């Protein structure tokens, strides 16, 4: 094959496809809980040695996020020590073991189907393990793609990682829907005096004892495929230059960009590749703070509260059939709006999409709050929730990852991305674990709060975030040196 002029698009796209499987698993692992959480809650409600409550359920539903925080925070160390590709291999192993353990948490130590406090802890530890995989993949997949991709299509290719995340969520919504099949989610009864929840004797016990297990276990298949395919992709050229393996780096750059462009990029990388010597604050505090705030706002606008508890929210809004069908519809809409971002991010730029998305989300969230305040049920609140999610998918969903992967100079990228991603998961955990209690207190208050944060996010982007469209990763160093 002749790479002399333009490089091989097929080679670039096949590497990107393997890398974004990490994004698909990220989406799969974080959204699998939406279908499984009701059966899981009922399962632990039947425990005899402790009383499972809403606070415990909030923690259990979002325990994977503790792993995400740790995995995200450690990703910089792994990316620098093991390299980008080997770190993704490690993530694949975490995904696989977590799926098996969540399917069968009794393995070796406990009696099958008998819930108790020790089993709850074991289950949470398996979910934390999956979270480590998500944390690593969430930081390293976009970083790896950004370091392989040519600057003119980098935004598009990194956005494909977000497409894969949403696609992973859509797949798991379908898988959960199919697994549940003709079975019903359990019926929970709340005692009017004590507020204690119990499982109704009329409940379909299959979803309590078996259903949630199959949902978690289904992840073993994509995890195994990801691990296998990672044996066929190269190391990142920027990482190879940092490891003094310039010939290997050049051969990959040549395959992707063509001979002339590869020489030019290689010399730019060499000029900025002193990762081992530059400290995190070498370019001042501003770039780090902007990177962290992008992460914080992406989560504080409340999107994951909607994605993780979608069936429950739709059911409360008056949707038919337990809300699973509306969740699948939302997944399809999310895919379509993520495509809007992929096709426009390198044309319109990053900032306009973020501002439009923030305003659209603010309107959607406010509409949900007002529907709740006025007791409106049916199509309007369901539509408003879907609109809120759709505007996220064309803006903060993909664009935040694009900016985090490209905004930091080469020499501090590993450390800075790890810091930004750790903050992202911390705020994801705060939002997801507080949502059940907030929603229980007042859906109107919860969505009103998210709406206000969306407006703040739009102002932040407008005032402080620089436009990075079309700039090479090496130009970021010059941008922040100013």
Mean pLDDT of the chain: 85
Mean pLDDT, residues 161-182 taken together: 87
* CA dist., res. 447 & res. 365, Å (int): 5
Q: Which is higher by pLDDT, 427 or 276?
A: 427
Q: Among 83-97, 173-187, 247-261, 335-349, which range has the highest average pLDDT? A: 83-97
Q: Are 328 and 172 in contact (CB under 8 A)?
A: no
> What pLDDT score does 3 carry?
45
Mean pLDDT, residues 172-188 taken together: 85
Query: Which residues pair with residue 198 across a beta bridge?
Result: 189
Residue 22 half-sphere exposure toward CB, CA atoms < 13 A: 35
CB atoms within 10 A of CB 450: 26
* CA dist., res. 265 & res. 273, Å (int): 12
Q: Which is higher by pLDDT, 370 or 185?
A: 370
* CA dist., res. 433 & res. 445, Å (int): 16
Q: Are 271 and 410 in contact (CB under 8 A)?
A: no
Q: Domain boundaries in the chain? A: 9-233+274-481
* CA dist., res. 252 & res. 240, Å (int): 10
What DSSP string describes 374-440?
TT--SHHHHHHHHHHHHHHHTTHHHHHHHHHHHSS-GGGHHHHHHHHHHHHHHHHHHHHHHHHHHHH
Residue 76 half-sphere exposure toward CB, CA atoms < 13 A: 20
Q: Which is higher by pLDDT, 187 or 353?
A: 353
Q: Sorting pLDDT into bands at 50, 70 and 90, what band is 220?
A: very high
Q: Sorting pLDDT into bands at 50, 70 and 90, what band is 390?
A: very high
Quick check: 242 pLDDT over 60? yes
Class of domain 9-233+274-481: mainly alpha
> What pLDDT score does 275 carry?
45
CB atoms within 10 A of CB 234: 18
> What pLDDT score does 293 carry?
95
What's this model's pTM, rounded to 2 decimal places? 0.79
Q: Among the listed ranges 77-86, 404-413, 445-454, which one has the minimum average pLDDT value?
A: 404-413
Please state the length of the chain.
482
Q: Sorting pLDDT into bands at 50, 70 and 90, what band is 48?
A: confident
Quick check: 344 pLDDT over 90? no
Q: Sorting pLDDT into bands at 50, 70 and 90, what band is 109?
A: confident
DSSP 320: S
Mean pLDDT, residues 290-303 taken together: 92
Residues 6 or more apart in contact with residue 308 via CB below 8 angstroms? 30, 31, 33, 34, 37, 61, 62, 432, 435
Cα first-last separation, the chain: 42
> What pLDDT score does 1 carry?
44
Mean pLDDT, residues 168-175 taken together: 88
Q: Sorting pLDDT into bands at 50, 70 and 90, what band is 122?
A: very high
Instruction: Tell me, rounded to whole angstroms, the distance of Cα 87 from its chain centroid.
Output: 17
Condensed to tens digits (0 to 9), the pLDDT of residues 133-158 reads 998 998 899 888 888 887 778 788 88
Q: Sorting pLDDT into bands at 50, 70 and 90, what band is 2?
A: very low
Q: Among 97-106, 278-287, 316-325, 420-429, which range has the highest average pLDDT? A: 97-106
Instruction: Tell me, rounded to whole angstroms, the distance of Cα 130 from its chain centroid.
Output: 12
Q: Among 187-201, 300-314, 376-390, which range has the highest average pLDDT? A: 376-390
Q: Sorting pLDDT into bands at 50, 70 and 90, what band is 97?
A: very high
Query: Quick one: which of 350, 461, 445, 453 has its CA closest to 395?
Result: 350
Q: Among the listed ranges 142-151, 442-451, 460-469, which one has the minimum average pLDDT value?
A: 142-151
Residue 198 phi, psi (nearest 5):
-135, 160
> What pLDDT score does 320 carry?
63
* CA dist., res. 165 & res. 471, Å (int): 25
Query: Quick one: which of 337, 335, 414 has its CA closest to 136?
Result: 414
* CA dist., res. 459 & res. 272, Å (int): 33
Q: Are 233 and 92 in contact (CB under 8 A)?
A: no
> What pLDDT score does 88 carry?
93
* CA dist., res. 144 & res. 85, Å (int): 8
DSSP 186: P
Query: Which residues pair with residue 68 across a beta bridge?
Result: none
> What pLDDT score does 277 carry?
53
> What pLDDT score does 215 carry?
94
Quick check: 324 pLDDT over 80? no
Q: Sorting pLDDT into bands at 50, 70 and 90, what band is 246?
A: confident
What DSSP string describes 259-296?
HHHHHHHHHHHHHH--TTT--TTTT-HHHHHHHHHHHH
- Alpha carbon distances (Å) from 468 to 319, 348, 352: 42, 11, 12
């Amino acid at each position: 094959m002749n790479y002399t002029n333009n490089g091989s698009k097929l080679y670039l796209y096949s590497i990107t496809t393997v890398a974004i499987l990490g994004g698909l698993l990220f989406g799969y692992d974080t959204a699998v809980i939406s279908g499984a959480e009701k059966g899981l809650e009922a399962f632990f409600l039947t425990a005899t040695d402790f009383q499972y409550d809403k606070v415990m359920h909030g923690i259990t539903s979002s325990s994977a996020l503790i792993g995400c925080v740790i995995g995200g925070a450690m990703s910089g160390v792994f990316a620098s020590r093991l390299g980008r590709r080997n770190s993704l291999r490690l993530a694949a192993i975490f995904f696989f073991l977590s799926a098996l353990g969540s399917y069968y948490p009794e393995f070796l130590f406990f009696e099958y189907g008998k819930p108790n406090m020790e089993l709850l802890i074991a289950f949470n530890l398996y979910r934390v393990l999956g979270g480590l995989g998500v944390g690593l993949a969430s930081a390293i997949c976009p970083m790896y793609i950004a370091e392989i991709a040519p600057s003119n299509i980098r935004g598009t290719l990194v956005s494909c990682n977000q497409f894969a995340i949403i696609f992973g969520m859509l797949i798991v919504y379908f898988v959960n829907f199919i697994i549940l099949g003709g079975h019903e989610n359990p019926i929970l009864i709340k005692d009017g005096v004590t507020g204690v929840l119990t499982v109704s004797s009329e409940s379909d016990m299959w979803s309590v004892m078996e259903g949630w297990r199959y949902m978690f276990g289904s992840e073993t298949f994509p995890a195994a495929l990801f691990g296998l395919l990672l044996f066929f992709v190269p190391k990142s050229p920027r990482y190879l230059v940092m490891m003094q393996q310039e010939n290997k780096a050049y051969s990959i750059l040549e395959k992707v960009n063509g001979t002339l462009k590869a020489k030019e990029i290689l010399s730019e990388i060499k000029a900025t590749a002193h990762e081992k010597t530059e400290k995190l604050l070498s370019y001042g505090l501003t770039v780090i703070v902007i990177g962290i705030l992008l992460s914080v706002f992406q989560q504080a606008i409340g999107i994951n509260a909607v994605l993780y508890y979608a069936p429950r929210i739709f059911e409360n809004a008056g949707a038919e059939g337990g809300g699973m069908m509306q969740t699948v519809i939302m997944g399809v809409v999310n895919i379509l709006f993520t495509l809007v971002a992929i096709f426009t991010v390198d044309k319109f730029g990053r900032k306009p999409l973020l501002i439009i998305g923030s305003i659209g989300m603010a309107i959607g969230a406010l509409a949900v709050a007002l529907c709740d305040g006025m007791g409106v049920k049916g199509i309007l609140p369901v539509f408003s929730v879907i609109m809120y999610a759709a505007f996220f998918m064309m803006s903060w969903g993909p664009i935040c990852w694009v900016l985090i992967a490209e905004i930091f100079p080469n020499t501090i990228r590993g450390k800075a991305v790890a810091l930004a991603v750790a903050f992202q998961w911390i705020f994801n955990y705060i939002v997801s674990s507080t949502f059940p209690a907030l929603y229980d207190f007042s859906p109107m208050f919860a969505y009103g709060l998210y709406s206000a944060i969306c407006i703040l996010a739009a102002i932040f982007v407008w005032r402080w975030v620089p436009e990075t469209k079309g700039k090479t990763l090496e130009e970021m160093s010059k941008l922040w040196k100013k």
